Chain A
Amino acid sequence: AQSVTQLDSQVPVFEEAPVELRCNYSSSVSVYLFWYVQYPNQGLQLLLKYLSGSTLVESINGFEAEFNKSQTSFHLRKPSVHISDTAEYFCAVTISYNTDKLIFGTGTRLQVFP
């Protein structure tokens, strides 16, 4: 069975500093990986996804994540965060040949301070 681990429940950081939110997954088969963001009092929005091809994927607002098969990781990074990036971030995984179930991590709350 697949599982997702987000080791950091909270990550405090100052504005304009770099940030990395860690995500590790467990699966014996090929997977698709996702990062979703949840702003306060809102539903989730897709930030970026890895399906195949280039292992480095980027979002439109400066985030990127790299799929590392050997380390079974999909860490999310941003070189310079803004106050508006304050949100909860969820990593998720699904099996590539049977995309009906999605397993979420427990989330990482990113708090950006001025």
Chain B
Amino acid sequence: EAQVTQNPRYLITVTGKKLTVTCSQNMNHEYMSWYRQDPGLGLRQIYYSMNVEVTDKGDVPEGYKVSRKEKRNFPLILESPSPNQTSLYFCASSLQGLSSEQFFGPGTRLTVL
């Protein structure tokens, strides 16, 4: 089944404790992206990747890191999480850029205490 998977689905952590949210797609998509969803703000793009070893900042990259060493994986790293990073995070992928359909993962709900 073609899908985007994220792990973990739920995470509660404390300020400053490094964490990684994994994202994997099995559709051989070139483009991958991370978004955060906050009430009243919609979705905002954090980072995106056009292909392996090619990543760039979205609108809200502060406090986040990403890597794209393999085509299928695009982990989101929070080196020192803070409470303002409490949010619902979505990973998405598409065949090539955003003119093709983006497929979204199920989301990761992160709470930073």
Contacts and interface: CB of A to CB of B under 8 A. Distances in A.
B101 A43 contact: no
A99 B42 contact: no
Contacts of A94: 98-99
B107 A107 contact: no
Contacts of A45: 104
A51 interface: yes
A44 B104 contact: yes
Interface string B59-91: 100000000000000000000000000000010
A101 B35 CA distance: 11
**5 closest Cβ pairs, A-B complex:** A43-B104, A99-B97, A99-B98, A106-B42, A104-B43
A100 B42 contact: no
Given A43-B90, A106-B41, A107-B42, A100 B99 contact: no
Given A42-B106, A43-B105, A102-B45, A32 B99 contact: yes
A7 interface: no
A94 B56 CA distance: 16
Interface size on A, as a range, is 20 to 34
A90 B33 CA distance: 17
B106 A100 contact: no
Interface string A71-110: 0000000000000000000101010100111111111000
B50 interface: yes
Nearest to B102: A46
B40 A43 contact: no
Given A99-B98, A100-B97, A43 B42 contact: no
Nearest to B99: A99
Contacts of B59: 101, 103
Given A104-B44, A106-B41, A106-B42, A43 B97 contact: no
